[in-house]
Amino acid sequence: MSANLRAFLYAIAFSELGPDLLAQSDNGYDVIVGSRPGKLDRFTTYRAHPHKLVKVMIKGREVASTAAGRYQILGRYADHYMRKLGLRDFGPHAQDQIAIQMIRECRALEDVEAGRFAEAIRKCRSRWASLPGAGYDQHENSLIALQNAFVLAGGTLA
């Protein structure tokens, strides 16, 4: 995996979970939606996506979600990608492969590799609600914060 792709994956995880949850868990790979610093909900086996339905408050409204893992992948998408990619579990390697496939489907992989960070984020924003401009009426991180995370993780900008 290239340094830029590894750094981009980190920026997504940073956006979805934040640095505290990444540090308090198995690098985010075992985190269930709704977790926050001091209240970490983790799954204990990587055999499959946990499919735990969690109700979380987002901007004053209750939302039910099965998001889990480093990239907060919904259960139904995890199942689809695990079949499509021939993955045997929901471990760290599988979660990375799913995220990379999602980036590929957004036609952003070339931008990631070339260091066109803002363009790659723009193309991927439909997949992760925390990315700037996603439009899911949830918290969105700033492009500059994510770009800083990308660079700190070893990414190189064009």
Which residue reads 């401009």 in tokens? Answer: 133
Q: What is the pTM of this model?
A: 0.94
Residue 20 inside a domain? The answer is yes
Say which of 16, 62, 105, 110 is annotated catalytic: 16
Question: Which residues form the domain of 66?
Answer: 3-152
Residue 106 inside a domain? The answer is yes
For residue range 48-95, list pLDDT tens digits in order.
999 999 998 887 889 899 999 999 999 999 999 999 999 999 999 999
For residue range 137-158, list pLDDT tens digits in order.
888 999 999 999 999 999 999 9
For the chain, what is the domain count? 1
Whichever domain contains 33, its CATH number is 1.10.530.10
Contact in structure between 152 and 6 (CB atoms under 8 Å) = no
Distances (CA, A) of 67 to 7, 36, 128, 155: 22, 14, 11, 26
Confidence of residue 36 (pLDDT cuts 50, 70, 90): confident
Residue 158 inside a domain? The answer is no
Residue 108 scores a pLDDT above 90:
yes
Residue 77 inside a domain? The answer is yes
In the residue annotation, 16 being an active-site residue is answered as yes
